[in-house]
């Protein structure tokens, strides 16, 4: 038996065409799943009994299990999910004005060892399957009921490009009009700078928003924050992004976690301005939220304003991401909402 969420639409279509079912039947199945939110094939009453039996014998619709939901005062909700092998991941639903954004995970843990990231402390346990990635989105849609899920960000646990194939298949399913129907402009892949992944994405012409968790344009500092810089250097990253922009004409967003007395000085601004240069991009500034088991410090309001004003002098859109309570403060899986207690529950 296969989880139907593991298969792209065209694959399910092929399987059912091979047993003589017309393509409109497949549309009907997906209408039951996505519009009526029915996950039991036997209840899909517009299908023939034979087809319902076949579906029940061939596919499952397996979803991650919700273990806990933590509600923030600002309305965000953090979900601790359990997967079939009893490992855990998290996702966060962030309502804001008329938007509902879901921050999802792509791996259980992460191998990239970024020093500011709670997920990094778990190490990599495994990649998520396609079904486990899109299952998070389906669960969130069930939770939202009549409200629409508008945006998806791959900024939860894991480096999406370290699980490239499954993430891209999931993205295709999220965009598919018969399935999740989410616009490419509303799906963001956030990476720590895995150059082969960025190159592959641009060559394959997958339409999504690309975010780079940058955090410093000074090589030694970025190496301290993000050891991936030892493998993929800052100049190589810049070159790759120039090619990406040239090929796709999509703007890039840089995520920059502001850490007091570390990456907010004159040299940092100078390096950042030089790095960004002529790239068509946005810069998202994220104030570091102190975690009591990491030694970095949060900047003051004045330091944040000062830093952002100086950056605005360059020809880029600079925004300060509002911290959502203490729950959400994420750049590329920087799950700052992993409090030490949560972390313990994940390990």
> Which positions from 303 to 332 touch ligand SF4 by CB under 6 A, shown as an x/- string?
-----------------------------x
Cα 90 to Cα 328: distance, rounded to the nearest angstrom: 12
Classified as helix, coil or strand, 227 is: coil
Q: Which of 334, 337, 339, 342 binds ligand SF4 (CB under 6 A)?
A: 334
CB of 254 to ligand SF4, least distance (A): 14
Q: Which is nearer to ligand SF4, 119 or 339 (CB)?
A: 119
Q: Report the site for ligand SF4 in 186-205 (rule: CB under 6 A).
A: 192
Task: Examine residue 110 and tell whether it contacts ligand SF4 (CB under 6 A).
Answer: yes
Cα 278 to Cα 324: distance, rounded to the nearest angstrom: 32
CB of 72 to ligand SF4, least distance (A): 20
Task: Examine residue 333 and tell whether it contacts ligand SF4 (CB under 6 A).
Answer: yes
Give me the phi and psi of 58, to 5 degrees please.
-105, -40
Task: Examine residue 90 and tell whether it contacts ligand SF4 (CB under 6 A).
Answer: no
Cβ atoms < 10 Å from Cβ of 253: 20
Nearest Cα to 213, choosing from 132, 334, 311, 297? 334
Rounded (10°) angle between helices 164-175 and 195-204: 40
Cβ atoms < 10 Å from Cβ of 317: 12
Task: Examine residue 112 and tell whether it contacts ligand SF4 (CB under 6 A).
Answer: yes
CB of 177 to ligand SF4, least distance (A): 30
Q: Can you list the positions of beta strands (E) in 61-105?
A: 65-71, 77-82, 88-96, 99-103
Cβ atoms < 10 Å from Cβ of 142: 12
* 90 catalytic residue (yes or no): yes
* 21 catalytic residue (yes or no): no
Cβ atoms < 10 Å from Cβ of 104: 31
Q: Report the site for ligand SF4 in 128-187 (rule: CB under 6 A).
A: 157-159
Cα 312 to Cα 317: distance, rounded to the nearest angstrom: 7
Task: Examine residue 114 and tell whether it contacts ligand SF4 (CB under 6 A).
Answer: yes
Q: Which of 120, 173, 174, 182 binds ligand SF4 (CB under 6 A)?
A: 120
Of 90, 132, 159, 255, which residue is the catalytic one?
90
Q: Site residues (CB under 6 A) for ligand SF4?
A: 110, 112-114, 117, 119-120, 157-159, 192, 213, 332-334
Q: Which residues are catalytic?
A: 90, 332
């Amino acid at each position: 038996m296969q989880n139907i969420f593991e298969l792209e639409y065209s694959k399910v279509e092929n399987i059912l065409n091979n047993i003589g079912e017309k393509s409109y039947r497949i549309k009907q199945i997906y209408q039951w799943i996505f519009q009526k939110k029915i996950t039991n094939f036997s209840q899909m009453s517009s299908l023939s009994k034979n087809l319902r039996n076949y579906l029940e014998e061939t596919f499952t619709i397996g979803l991650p299990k919700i273990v806990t939901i933590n509600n923030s005062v600002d309305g965000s909700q953090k979900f601790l999910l359990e997967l079939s092998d009893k490992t855990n991941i998290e996702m966060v639903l962030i309502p804001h004005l008329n938007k509902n954004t879901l921050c999802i995970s792509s791996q259980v843990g992460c191998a990239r060892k970024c020093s500011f990231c709670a997920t990094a402390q778990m190490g990599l346990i495994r990649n998520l399957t396609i079904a486990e990635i899109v299952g998070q989105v389906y669960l969130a849609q069930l939770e939202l009921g009549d409200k629409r899920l508008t945006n998806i960000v791959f900024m939860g646990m894991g480096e999406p490009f370290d699980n490239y194939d499954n993430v891209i298949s999931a993205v295709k399913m999220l965009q598919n009009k018969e399935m999740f129907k989410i616009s490419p402009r509303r799906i963001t892949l956030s990476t720590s700078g895995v150059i082969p992944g960025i190159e592959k994405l641009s060559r394959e012409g997958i339409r999504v928003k690309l975010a780079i968790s940058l955090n410093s344009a000074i090589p030694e500092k970025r190496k301290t924050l993000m050891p991936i810089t030892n493998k993929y250097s800052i100049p190589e990253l810049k070159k790759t992004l120039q090619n990406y922009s040239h090929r796709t004409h999509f703007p890039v967003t840089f995520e920059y976690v502001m850490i007091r007395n570390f990456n907010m000085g004159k040299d940092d601004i100078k390096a950042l301005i030089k790095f960004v240069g002529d790239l068509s991009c946005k810069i998202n500034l994220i104030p570091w939220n102190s975690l009591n088991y990491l030694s970095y410090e949060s900047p003051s309001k004045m330091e944040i304003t000062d830093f952002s004003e100086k950056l605005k002098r360059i020809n880029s859109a600079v925004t300060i991401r509002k911290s959502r309570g203490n729950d959400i403060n994420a750049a590329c899986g920087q799950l700052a909402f992993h409090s030490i207690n949560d972390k313990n529950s994940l390990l």
